[in-house]
Structure 1
Amino acid sequence: MKKNQWKNNGSLINPLYDFIPAQPENEKNINLENKKIISGIENNETKNSPWVAEIKKLPYNLLCILLEELKSGNSIISINSSNWPQNGSIVVKLRKGFKKENKNIKGTKWRLLNDPHYCNEEITEILNDIEFLIIN
């Protein structure tokens, strides 16, 4: 099995971490990868995994939604810190649609967009006047 990896296709100032999944890409490998990713986030493993530092910038409710999505089998495609839609924004892109119970969390806003150039759905949370997003 080829190991998974995170690749920064952005810059040091505005990182864009793309996730390259292990091969072959199947449910077993996705579940193994998700366990490692969840552990990295929950244990704040930022030293060798700079993408964790970006994830940890998410507001509390979005971080909880992200962890729940990962635990249910969804997976991260990318983590973007390109300061869009605002300076300081973080956008996490997931592979699959959101679980129904994650679409109605207090303090967050869910929208169905069906935009082939952007995303299908988004969940946003605002912290200190900065919008953070999880999209799919």
Structure 2
Amino acid sequence: MKASRTLARLPGTEPAIAALEDAAVSVAVPTHNAQAIAMLRAMPDGLRTCLLAELRRGNRLVAVDQPDWPQPGSIFVSLADVFHPSTRSLSPDVHWRDVNDPRWWREELTQVDAGVEHMVVC
């Protein structure tokens, strides 16, 4: 089993800030790790749209990882709070699931791009 490669922990309190651009909207994201910003920009469009909607609403990034799970190349993002109800159906390519397992996470949004599943969880 391949070990997880944690590329960033984003506590939301870093003084260095960069804009994560999505069309004409920019959201402040802590940038002590340029690889994390690159991964967020590389997410599939629908999932990135949902993530940006959550960040605009004040949800905080907890972690950005590329753990090669559930497939090699998967991007895994963790948020602090549950998703806003409108985020769950924001993109037709993104699937929402109520996991509600205290050992893992409460909710997840997933999108498959080129056979690779990417996830945002809370």
TM class, shorter-length: 0.7 to 0.9
Q: CA RMSD in A?
A: 2.6
> How far apart, CA to CA, are the structure 1 residues paired with 2:105 and 2:80?
11
Q: Which has the higher contact order (CA 8 A, sep 6+)?
A: 2
- Percent identity of paired positions between Structure 1 and Structure 2: 29
Q: Give 1 or 2 for the bigger CA radius of gyration.
A: 1
Separation of aligned partners in 1, 2:88 and 2:11: 27
5+ residue gaps, structure 2: none
Normalised to the residue count of structure 1, the TM-score between the two structures is: 0.72
Deviations 1:66-125 (A, max 9, x none): 111101110100001010111010010000011111101201110001111111000000
Runs of 4+ that moved beyond 3 A: none
SS at match of 2:42: coil
* Aligned equivalent of 1:85, options 64, 70, 81: 70
TM-score by length of 2: 0.80
Q: Structure 1: 5+ residue runs without aligned partners?
A: 1-9, 24-31
Counterpart of 2:119 in structure 1: which amino acid?
L
Q: CA deviation at 1:19?
A: 1.5
3-state SS of paired residue (2:96) = strand
Determine which structure has the larger strand proportion and give its number. 2
Q: Which of the pair is proportionally richer in helix?
A: 1
Match of 2:54 among 69, 85, 93: 69
